[in-house]
Amino acid sequence: MAPMPLNPENPFARPSTRPLELPDFTAATVENLREALAAGLAEQRREWAAIAADGDIATVENTLLALERSGELLDRVLPVAFTLMESVGGDDFDALEAELMPQLSAHSDALHLDAGIHARLQSLQRGKDLLSLDDETAWLLSEYLRHYRQSGIGLSEADQTILRDLNARISTAETSFSQRATKALENATVYVEDAADLAGLDEETVESLAQAARERGREGFAITFLSPTQQPLLTRLENPATRARLLDQSLTRGDGHDPESDTRALILELARLRAERAALLGYENHAAAVADEGTAKSSQAIAERLAALAPPAARNARREGEQLAALKAESDTAAFTPADWYHWSDKLRKRLFSVDDEVLRPYLELDSVLTNGVFWAAGALFGIRFVERPELVSYAPEVRVWEVVEEDGSTLALFVGDYYARKGKRGGAWMHNLVDQSHLLGRKPVVMNNLNITRPAVGEPTLLTWDEVTTCFHEFGHALHGMFSSVTYPALSGTDVPRDFVEFPSQVNEMWMANRAVVANFARHHVTGEPIPADLLDKLLSQGTYGQGFSTSEYLAAALIDQAWHRLRAEDVPAAVDDVATFEAQALADAGMRYEFVPPRYRSTYFNHAFGGGYDANYYSYIWSEVLDADTVEWFKAEGAQDGDGWLNRTAGQHFRDELLSRGNSRDPLQSFRAFRGRDAEIAPLLKRRGLDSA
């Protein structure tokens, strides 16, 4: 029986009437989302079937453009569903996600294993010279054919059946891992009864922890978790036992001590299933299949890059560890432990640079960081401004919306910010599109940033750590990539680029954290409005490569774990859940990165990037993209120095926007980099930035 058409009373039955088709989240329920998703999937399948069955000669209009125009209903409802599943969560949305993800996997297979559509695309490719395709359309055609090849169109019918089954099982396991990792964040919450155990924290932070406990129906204080291993309060907590408890809870997430969030069986299942799929598709392993989709092109190139960086990073980390242990020994006879690292690193930072997080935090208020930092830098560089639209309410009262306006007064985009942690929300920070930009469809972008900042006590300001400020700038770099997109086809829009390129614009945007004019503009005392003292600003910006041994090593350890799991053949994947920790430890030891004082940024059991889908065998992309980023920062500094404007060079910003940020995936991303930079990237700036040039 054919699926019923969508009830016209469903709020997703027609485009949103809000500005730029911003979704009306207040109208969304699990029930009407489920109904609209089913109708949207069915509608696009019918559209694809019509393209495949078209008896006319394949043309750009009846094949490529028809594909790009298909799925209008699904494009409306999916971003809403994903936003609510990730940012609100809860049992009902978890159930919807568990239903949806295998359906989306089957939906992707329905397109990429459709021989009729593939044949029409091939005929366009054969006749592209006669068709005189413009560059963007020719690139779109090549991208479609690449996706078909990498998705298994060349397999026999029997093998395609096996592939569909593997894809469905992988999708189901990824969803289960992600949901368990989110549960693990909440279940790991550390409850503290005695306020004395929170010594080192200011009154505002202590009250916010008390509020978190009350929200969970508990007395005392609740310390909630972020996704990475290290937790911000490790820096400030004076009580060694509290620090040890906090780090232990972080490191043991998903390891089986809490059955509800045990992820180990899913790790083994995903490693095995992905390896089986890679072999079926003709790849040596899953890492090789993923590399073929990116700019790296080979897993060997990735392995060589990581292997070259790991030894000097590990040496730097060990030197830092010796320094911190020696500093602790000056006043404390207890042995130095992994839970001491952040705490004593902060003390050493104070000694070397006189920079104190407790002194800094009053100058790092969220609204000022956004308005006078993130937005101000973007305005100076790209000529845009931000007008808050409080009437555009969203799914939670603290979610904010801004209209982004060009110099000529026209609307460029809408920007949505959801900055606070909440129960059920996915950990970490991310950007995603609510509406994709496309000239073909006449759509301007609506993009969103999500962070997980601890909500302050009622009436108190949101004061950030320096790391949280960096995250604000990083995620906004992704947002700029989405907002500046100026492409014809939705499939090529904004951040829809290879995974090992997508982090490049976001990492570039972190440069403003080291720019005196930008920091001086946003770092103002939240009570007095006084700017950060000049001497404190000098010290803040003078830290150079301090702590890079730790940060580089914890990142590389996670990237190496990700690669190790995904370079396995199916028959080599461990069989027992207790082998997960053993495999991880051996992978780090083999790479020379097993150092007890610097645990990986993510252990396997809570490594959502690697096992929740999206960055599997792709976590290397941060350091891969950072080569481009570090080289770009040097270019901006040189361009700004010519005009004496401290890098905030409007002409340079426009060049970066025109040649790179606006291009999306409308051409080879490395071609866009060369058009911007005038050459390929050089690695020397990265080595210098991370203190690896002389290590």
Q: Which parts of 203-319 are beta strand (E)?
A: 221-223
Q: How far is CA 669 from CA 499, 501, 541, 545, 675, in A?
A: 11, 7, 32, 29, 10
**DSSP character string of 43-73:** HHHHHHHHHHH--SPP-IIIIIIHHHH--HH
Closest CA to 121 of 52, 75, 179: 52
Q: How far is CA 231 from CA 228, 277, 342, 453, in A?
A: 7, 36, 9, 12
d(CA 485, CA 436): 9
d(CA 185, CA 179): 10
> Active site includes 626?
no
SS3 at position 346? helix
Catalytic residue, from 475, 503, 510, 584: name it.
Answer: 475
d(CA 472, CA 370): 8
d(CA 654, CA 637): 15
Residue length of the chain:
695
CB 26 within 8 A of CB 392: no
Locus of tokens 């029930």: 31
Closest CA to 486 of 654, 639, 677: 654
Q: Which parts of 545-599 are beta strand (E)?
A: none
Q: Which two tokens stand for residue 146?
A: 């690449």
For 383, which DSSP code? -
d(CA 204, CA 209): 9
First to last CA, the chain: 67
Closest CA to 400 of 413, 410, 414, 412: 414
d(CA 276, CA 545): 42
CB 110 within 8 A of CB 417: no
Active site residues: 475
